[in-house]
Amino acid sequence: MVSRVSRISTEIPDAEIQGIFPPETELSEPDDADWFSYAHISWRLRKLVPDRVPYPVLIGLADAMIVSALIALAAISLWRTSTGYITYIEVRLPLEGDRSPPGSPWPLPKSWERSLTQLTIDPEAFYMSSNANDCEVIAEGLRRYKEMIVKDLKGTKHSTLPVLEGLQVKVNDDCSCGYPHHDSDESYDIEIPSTGAATLSSKSIWGAIRGLETFSQLVYDDKDKNLLINSTKINDAPRYKYRGMLLDTSRHFQPIKTIKKNLDAMAYNKFNTFHWHIIDDQSFPFESKIFPNLTQLGAYSPKHIYTQDNIRDIIQYARLRGIRVVPELDTPGHTQAFGRAFPWLLTPCYGEGPENPYTANHPEHAAAEMLNPMLNDTYRIFKMLVEEIKSVFVDEYIHLGMDEVYYACWKSSPEIKEFMLKNNYTEYYQVEQHYVRKTLQNVKDTGYKYIIWQDPIDNDVVAAPDSIVEVWKDTSLDMKMGKWEEYIKPIARKGYQIILSACWYLNYISYGMDWKKYYECDPRNFDGSEADKDKLTSPTTLKALRSVSMSTDAGWSGEEYQLSQFLMDSVVIMNGIWISRENLLKIFFRHGH
């Protein structure tokens, strides 16, 4: 068993602690213990996972899983108070810094002035109002956050402190009530005076939604369950305009309720883009009405399908939380599920020689791999599918994948060689270039803007200049790869806008403080000019379901583990990419070294 596990101390009564931890679990702390504030995740985690998780979940799991499960259990035990603190068992490795005060917002705002003047909230009289209340995003946001403050904390009014009467939300410029987009203004200001009502001012409804999240984090309770808040001034805006989370529902189908809980966790931490990796080799769960066989033959089962109404419901749920939904339709590779409906659209491989099509040569290639770049039907059918996806997904962007195109299959194919000769192609990257050029133009003709993975650019393929390129490769994922800093520089030099995701693969479980590396990754820390670095407007986090190796027989489901782990990891990650690096280095929140 590894020794550096974390444990929790809170104000939970012993009787309730025993309902979560086994009797032999030591929960007391030495007087000189160092602490780490877990801030706002405590009473939000309660909304995402069940009320009790039995101890037998730990039996039979690998050590790394036990550590992660213990951390999740520790977070669950924070439910009864709005602030909890975590420490390492090994006192020779203390956490540095001071405990953050109760009611501390996370991620740290751009500017935050907090006085010692306390006010209380009367749950019976506290109000939230807005000049943009006719917008359902604002109206629903006011309802949702008032419920968090008044009902979830279940607090009372302090008997002697002055009362904060309410919160007035003012949207000053853009009250349009559409969908969040790539250039949404998410800035906001909060002022909580020593008397009267608080004000939240923003230029758009999306800034108001971010401000409501921050305001809810400023509220805390004391040991007597009095609702408290300090006189405060906040000026805030994100460092990057794209802050995303990828969820892969092709390899691991996720129930709609789980996707919505992920969206809640994203909103708590001010993520604004749900990158939905909905289709891959393993399954095709998107309901296609123009090509029904794609769904019928590609989904795991009829129960593992997202209908178009399901998807619209998820998009609306995300919209109310200021979150975009960007679908990924990965081609020309990762299309085995696509090939179940259109087998002739996959390039046949010749693993056993030029006389034997559709034969594998593992591990070089499968029997049929990647969409066939030679066929007009490839582009016609794909464009029709993109048009259908655009009729469901409202965002201006689509992610087109284009990663991991392996040339071995093409090299084995006499048809590809003939195609190259006909088009005067001498290198296989030119075949990929042929596919990328035609596909991007077809997608552009539908009205979509697009994001692609970095792989074509690495292969010397030239993408359209308005492409956004997502950098995912790093030595932390595969020692055969270079460091992400080495990939990002030439891509920036070529003028592409960039999304960085290489730092934040949450599905890679590692020993020790993996959150520390998430926290310390600086997307601008590469050898390039300021103009090059300004191309990187968009860091994102990647996440895949971690439940495949977890035991569910003991009462701990993949959903519960995934949600609790993502919520905790995202707390750290978002603080690293929300604020300026200068402020991050001065931050007084506790972090381990």
Measured CA to CA, the distance from residue 525 to residue 64 in angstroms comes to 30
Q: What is the DSSP string of 335-364?
A: -HHHHHH-GGGEEEPBTT-TT--SB-BTTT
Residue 404 falls in the annotated catalytic set: yes
Mean pLDDT, rounded, for 543-553: 30
| 3-state SS class at 405 | coil
Q: Which of 404, 418, 427, 520 is catalytic?
A: 404
For 20-54, write each residue's pLDDT tens digit.
Answer: 333 333 333 333 333 233 444 555 655 665 544 33
pLDDT value at position 536?
66
pLDDT band at 135 (very low <50, low <70, confident <90, very high): very high
Q: Look at 62-71, 341-350, 435-444 and tell me which has the smallest mean pLDDT.
A: 62-71
pLDDT value at position 523?
83
Question: Which residues lie across from 542 on neighbouring strands?
Answer: 246, 505
Measured CA to CA, the distance from residue 207 to residue 213 in angstroms comes to 10
pLDDT value at position 588?
43
Pairing of strands 227-236, 220-221: antiparallel
Pairing of strands 198-204, 497-500: unpaired
**Distances in Å between the alpha carbon of 32 and those of 88, 94, 101, 113, 495?**
12, 10, 18, 29, 53
For 194-208, write each residue's pLDDT tens digit.
Answer: 999 999 999 999 999
Residue 142 has pLDDT above 80, yes or no: yes
> Which of 191, 200, 219 shows the shortest CA–CA distance to 129?
200
Q: Give the up-direction half-sphere exposure of residue 53: CA atoms within 13 A in the CB hemisphere.
A: 26
N-to-C CA span, the chain:
22
More reliable by pLDDT, 2 or 559: 559
Looking up tokens 């070089």 gives 364
| 3-state SS class at 468 | strand
More reliable by pLDDT, 375 or 513: 375
For 362-402, write each residue's pLDDT tens digit.
Answer: 999 999 989 999 999 999 999 999 999 999 999 999 999 99
> Which of 14-28, 504-518, 540-554 shows the highest mean pLDDT?
504-518
Average pLDDT, the chain: 82
| Contact between residue 82 and residue 527 where contact means Cβ atoms under 8 Å apart | no
> Which of 441, 484, 485, 429 shows the shortest CA–CA distance to 466?
441
Looking up tokens 């103009």 gives 531
For 285-308, write each residue's pLDDT tens digit.
Answer: 999 999 999 999 999 999 999 999
pLDDT value at position 505?
83
| Contact between residue 488 and residue 500 where contact means Cβ atoms under 8 Å apart | yes
Q: What is the DSSP string of 160-181?
A: SSPBP-EEEEEEEEE---S---
For 264-279, write each residue's pLDDT tens digit.
Answer: 999 999 999 999 999 9
